[in-house]
Structure 1
């Protein structure tokens, strides 16, 4: 199995593209920021067994691994490539049965918004889904809508995968995403990152 690797804007994260589905087309990604959170994914657990792995993000067709700053990629990349190849070749389930794929769910469900607020949130979600998520997925990350505060106009987004902890994530959030949302949705005043 040939697994392509790609650098990301976050020097501590690397994108692994195995050339086959990981979660499958249309699946929302799943972020595992700690070893404990990886209990629902045998693949993520396997990757956390490599010394220096600090986070795993599973996308539809890629895996992003975040390492400790003190660890060099040249020391752990071969082990990660081997672990991913062995796991996927064996045909093992990537996530445990019944695990819902998608840590990309809003913290506040769409049903909790009413009237004009709901229309605003639908616009925000549409823009994030069609314009933001594909771009950040190309960099091995994800940005997910969590909440909109109608009174203040603040949009809360969660950054995952390579985007979490990326040195340029604040600039991406403020200069890119915030400006775009403010342009298309006048009710948006600012964008903030949440865990």
Structure 2
């Protein structure tokens, strides 16, 4: 248990006395309280305000400074106050509650990253901005997302895809990335830094009702479909996510051995998506599920 010692130090102001402690009592922060109500985050200061002559309390580093009213002289009461503070600290009394301690905030940064799709730019944040994936293809679809709604006010924004820590924006051909990237990046960064809602709280529930997320109904799938979903989740999704996109399993036709998927974000409309499907995903499924898969097709490809 810490052994606190408190000594009395005079100041240049004869109404203020500094009670110096032999160790730090705050985390290098300063606090000032003018009355007991202001001191609700400092049990120590509140206790001092019960003394009728205490006008203000300052707490910083390794000391407590107290300003008095003129009804007493410090020589008459300072030793008693020092003993009271020392006893309070040695009894384990709280100096400043946690909610009064400012939390260290990491500045929000957003950087732009090109994707294989020349119409899509990925804007990556240094913090988590969403708990699920959301794709919006119009301002009407974006009612679930204040950020996406604002982005659609830019005339060159065609669609918005939001993932855990990034936003993929698809542009119309009339705009060039070199002309709009900085503007979009700063807008997204400021939106996040201001603490605005990226998606509404009910967004996940509503998106599940409207989007084809059949892989969440895993238990209802046949065995081959389950194997396909597992392969997509483990091997394919991380790769396409790094490019600002996503792939969703839609269905499996055992008769023709065809897998249907939905491409989202940067994958949707990407010129290289056909190559990725045929030479990447299709070949992988053929090798890992021999005799079960012949073709992979995108329902929106």
Report the TM-score, using the length of structure 1 for normalisation: 0.89
Q: Report the RMSD for the aligned CA atoms in angstroms.
A: 1.8
Provide the C-alpha distance between the structure 2 equivalents of 1:35 and 1:171, rounded to a whole number of angstroms: 31
Query: How far did residue 170 of structure 1 move?
Result: 0.4
Provide the C-alpha distance between the structure 2 equivalents of 1:9 and 1:57, rounded to a whole number of angstroms: 15
Provide the C-alpha distance between the structure 2 equivalents of 1:12 and 1:137, rounded to a whole number of angstroms: 16
Query: How far did residue 110 of structure 1 move?
Result: 3.5
* Aligned residue number for residue 117 of structure 2: 10
Q: Any residues of structure 2 matched to 1:9-158 within 5 Å, and which?
A: 9-24=116-131, 27=132, 29-100=133-204, 103=211, 105-106=213-214, 109-113=217-221, 118-158=222-262
Structure 1 residue ranges (4+ consecutive) displaced by more than 6 angstroms after TM superposition: none
Question: Residues 15 and 65 of structure 1 are in contact (CA less than 8 Å); yes or no, is this contact kept in structure 2?
Answer: yes
Query: How far did residue 95 of structure 1 move?
Result: 1.1
Provide the C-alpha distance between the structure 2 equivalents of 1:48 and 1:151, rounded to a whole number of angstroms: 42
Change (3 A) 1:23 1:185: same
Q: Any residues of structure 2 matched to 1:139-178 within 5 Å, and which?
A: 139-178=243-282
Query: How far did residue 108 of structure 1 move?
Result: 9.3
Change (3 A) 1:152 1:109: farther
Q: Which has the higher contact order (CA 8 A, sep 6+)?
A: 1
Query: How far did residue 177 of structure 1 move?
Result: 0.3
Give 3-state SS (helix, strand or coil) of 1:145's partner: strand
Give 3-state SS (helix, strand or coil) of 1:84's partner: helix
Query: How far did residue 119 of structure 1 move?
Result: 1.2
Provide the C-alpha distance between the structure 2 equivalents of 1:81 and 1:60, rounded to a whole number of angstroms: 17
* Aligned residue number for residue 51 of structure 2: none
Question: Residues 112 and 181 of structure 2 are in contact (CA less than 8 Å); yes or no, is this contact kept in structure 1?
Answer: no
Query: How far did residue 104 of structure 1 move?
Result: 6.5
Report the TM-score, using the length of structure 2 for normalisation: 0.59
Provide the C-alpha distance between the structure 1 equivalents of 2:219 and 2:125, rounded to a whole number of angstroms: 37
State the structure with more CA Rg: 2
